[in-house]
Structure 1
């Protein structure tokens, strides 16, 4: 219940009365809202009903004695309804729907409270008035904060407006070749921590001079792959009906029934063991009796594909295979398995799901980074971030919906720091689809839709990944023997200098000049950490 009744019953007068027009100047008010600080607002049921779907559903109160409905009343019989908002916020909410002057919103904190109240009491007019004030705050330099607030309250148009204002360019300075952006693209505020990484990604999808997208339409804004809704109908062996050792049925959300042995499953999962020991009850939606045989039935919120793999890992069986399908990728299934394995504390399944996710490190490092962050795999986080440095372009991935924007921000900062170190050695380096080559002196962009490497230089991507891993593994100490792990001996040496490159005393002097410079980069790369990137 959003509103609560007064604790005391009977007739009482408010301690404090709100200013006009909420002080009942004409004596025609028929209901009172009492703010959390005790200030009373004398209102009209008809106005509240027209402006608020919430109040339309609960007003008017029945004209029964106070003791019958449990609501305190004034000495004149007006019902008093206590609310959780302060008198300052309630004053603004009501002025937006009454013919009265509306105070100016000057802080984002007030805007958030008012939007929360507008949603709570279902007052669309209030939300519209607040958005007008938010536009003014955008022009006052609070574009990022307004964007975060708009995402929180699902105000799509307001979010696009805030992003557009933030990414706008200012007038050209005297002698300047072109107008410069008003804000730096890597600006960030604490308010962004309240929204998911997906919203931060969409922020950059606006047509902006900061990003190198050719058009806003190039940005994939979908909400992720859809899950399979319909199961296969029958569980595979040994979970089919014909199993002789089954004494419990587990039913998935898509209707597939798994006949399992409670002892075997309970040993693998302490959480499941407690569920299986729970006595079935007709009033419990999770457990009950199944068919005439009186078999114990448990309904679980996981789909059949996830339960098939999870239960297989509870049994003394070889590791199963996570199958790939067109509508549901292998990594998505591994992630859902990890969620279920963590929920039911199946340690073997947790280890298996982690291995399955790590297998996608080379092909989908950004997705693995978000998954590893979500589940606290610190060893995988560092490796996935390192791989993502050398990925081409930006892509929406469904895991962005599951982690806060701060996680994506940390990856972008780390990637930019690493690219700034290696950028001068890419040949060539392209940013954007207009074909322009990046000037190494200008540094790597914070966010780039089309990517750092041209498709024809895929070999360079593989080299820099291997070099970066080697540099971190050796703490930046890369001598001649170490470099032979990734570069052939004949390419390492400078044949024009003479001498023995394998010698421990003279070898480094005969390292190819270009590779000598790259070795120095290893020391710099080894110092950059995803944990310390902010």
Structure 2
């Protein structure tokens, strides 16, 4: 980000330039910010510290003195801090910290750059000024880009203004909904605006544009604090005499006493690591003071130490499953995904297999959460399976999961693209089948004599089936490409469509016109019977199996059910 250093005389390849205005070239300035394009901005530490807690922290440390300055500098003993921003971005931001007129910026991309640097240095007052005087004014012309910067910074009022402009644009576009207009904007933007945005905020934007109701609902996640951290837990094996210390990533203060042989049995990778740790232990004296065993004994022993590149809570779960099996498996998708990933990386085949079964069960209950969690842990094949399961429910009907708040917006966009592509393909296939049905039935239609005239049978049946399939296809975009399709596309459902409920068209059917009502009733009765026959047989068998067994001969109960009896042989 930046670095304070003892300055050296500039070389010809890094010629330093003086600032272009007197504001950053005052004799009273007591520190220099050197930009990436080699411009020295001489500023006041008191103003900088008040404007930015980040600078306040760095300036509270002792600063080295500079040996040389650029031409035009008014003091040679100022400390120099190198920053990664160029002068075009940093100068207008610093002007916002001083009680002077701000620099006028008309280019949105330039405003966004300045705004992001203000975010980086946590400059609240410049952020508010940029929102109020620049970005809100840009919202009517570039609402998507303004919403994106608001989403990245948590600026609720700015996000609401941008969303209102997107919705206003939709109202001016004939035949297009808010989400349709948003999709067009995103395509034109090549989805750049979604970079750095959370899926949860993107979800709320789409919901806002669908519902049009902005009362009482926040568009951005309100809690953007420190991520949740698991409490430190020591794993205590139920077997005595552990001979190895294991700890996870950046958690050397939480060492687990375990048995090297048990871990080695679970993973050849760990077996090699354990052998190496023991070799080191046998030739060197541990620098760590003698530690008590987790089993509670007071014996002092030097044990080999093994550090694993695994998150501490996941390491605890890994060790627990190694010792206890399935009963130690975690029950949340996030913990299971972390366990699957860690077990795979360490070559713990059996642990991964157990975690995989538990994951599949949990993922089937909430496919949307499973999709995002799998991507967070780089389990692409698991995410693909979860995405396929998502097709069974309406995705864009308020389906939300908290995992969106820690996932990128592009992950949600890719899921939407996949979902809509599948819906289109299903719709196209159903339309193809519908047209095929129309063609096939038309080839084999017959004429029947009814009520003094001939009519073409199956015309109405053909159209009913065709229209029905087309109707199911249209619903795929709103109700899901897979949801309910098994029932809607079954043979039973298709046959029922040939049974009109009466009316003028009931006589133009493949069923004999003279007794079509009887035919329809017969077909529906057979379909109902076939749908329930097997389950009814299972029910009566289950009732018989619940009759208690007793010695003696079988007798008929008053319900007509034979009580099963046993003959007890001596």
* Deviation, structure 1 residue 405: 1.8
Is contact 1:249–1:260 with CA below 8 Å preserved after alignment?
yes
Distance in 2, matches of 1:159 and 1:128, equals 13
Alignment of 1:181-200 (within 5 A): 181=178, 184-187=181-184, 188=186, 189-200=191-202
TM-score by length of 2: 0.60
Deviation at 1:217, TM superposition (A): 4.8
Moved more, 116-125 or 374-383: 374-383
Residue 416 (structure 1) aligns with: 420
Alignment match, 2:336:
334
Unaligned runs of 5+ in 1: 426-438, 454-459, 468-482, 499-511, 513-534
Distance 1:162 1:137 in 2: 9
The one of 383, 387, 390 equivalent to 1:388 is 390
1:294 aligns with 2:302: yes
Aligned to 2:17: 16
How many residues align? The count is: 434
Is the partner of 1:22 in helix, strand or coil?
Answer: helix
In the superposition, relative to structure 1, how do residues 62 and 370 fare at CA in structure 2: closer, same or farther (>3 Å)?
closer
Q: Does 1:52 find its partner at 2:52?
A: yes
Q: Which residue of 1 aligns with 2:520?
A: none
Give the alignment of 1:481-520 within 5 angstroms. Answer: 487=491
Closer, same or farther in 2 for the Cα pair 1:297/1:42, shift >3 Å?
A: closer
- Matched ranges for 1:215-230 at <5 A: 217=217, 229=231
- Alpha carbons 1:248, 1:296 under 8 Å: kept: yes
Aligned to 2:319: 311
Matched, 1:464 2:485: yes
C-alpha separation in 2, matches of 1:54 and 1:493: 70
| 1:127 CA drift (Å) | 1.8
* Aligned partner (choices 233, 240, 262) of residue 243 of structure 1: 240
**Mapping of 1:154-303 within 5 angstroms?**
154-168=154-168, 181=178, 184-187=181-184, 188=186, 189-206=191-208, 208=209, 210-211=210-211, 217=217, 229=231, 235=236, 239-240=237-238, 242-244=239-241, 246-250=242-246, 259-266=257-264, 268-269=266-267, 272-273=270-271, 276=274, 277-278=276-277, 279=280, 289-291=290-292, 292-296=300-304, 302=311
Q: Which runs of 5+ in 2 are unaligned?
A: 293-299, 431-469, 500-508, 512-523, 525-570
Partners of 2:493 and 2:471 in 1: how far apart?
A: 29
Structure 1-normalised TM-score?
A: 0.63
Secondary structure of 1:4's partner?
strand
Deviations 1:34-84 (A, max 9, x none): 322222334344433443334445559989xxxx74654557434152433
SS, match of residue 406 in structure 1:
helix
**Which is higher, the Rg of structure 1 or of structure 2?**
2
TM-aligned CA deviation for residue 409 of structure 1:
1.0
**Contact (CA 8 Å) 1:230, 1:254: kept in 2 or not?**
no
Tell me the SS of whatever aligns to 1:17. Answer: coil
- SS of 2:22's equivalent? coil
Q: 1:384 to 1:90 in 2, by over 3 A?
A: closer
CA RMSD in angstroms, aligned pairs only? 5.1
Q: Secondary structure at the match of 2:140?
A: helix
User: 1:452 — aligned with what?
Assistant: 479
Distance 1:377 1:492, change over 3 A: farther
Q: Aligned partners of 1:150, 1:166: CA distance in 2, in Å?
A: 14
Kindly provide the CA deviation profile for residues 94-122 of structure 1, in whole angstroms up to 9, marking residues without a partner as x: 22123444233344543343234324444
Equivalent residue, structure 2, for 1:139: 140
What secondary structure sits across from 1:150 in the alignment? helix
- Report if aligned partners of 1:251, 1:258 keep a CA contact under 8 Å in 2: yes
- 2:35 corresponding residue in structure 1: 35
Q: Which has the higher helix share?
A: 2
Matched position secondary structure for 2:23: coil
Tell me by how many angstroms 1:417 deviates: 3.9
Deviates more, 1:252-261 or 1:77-86: 252-261
Contact kept, 8 Å, 2:18 with 2:41, in 1: the verdict is: yes
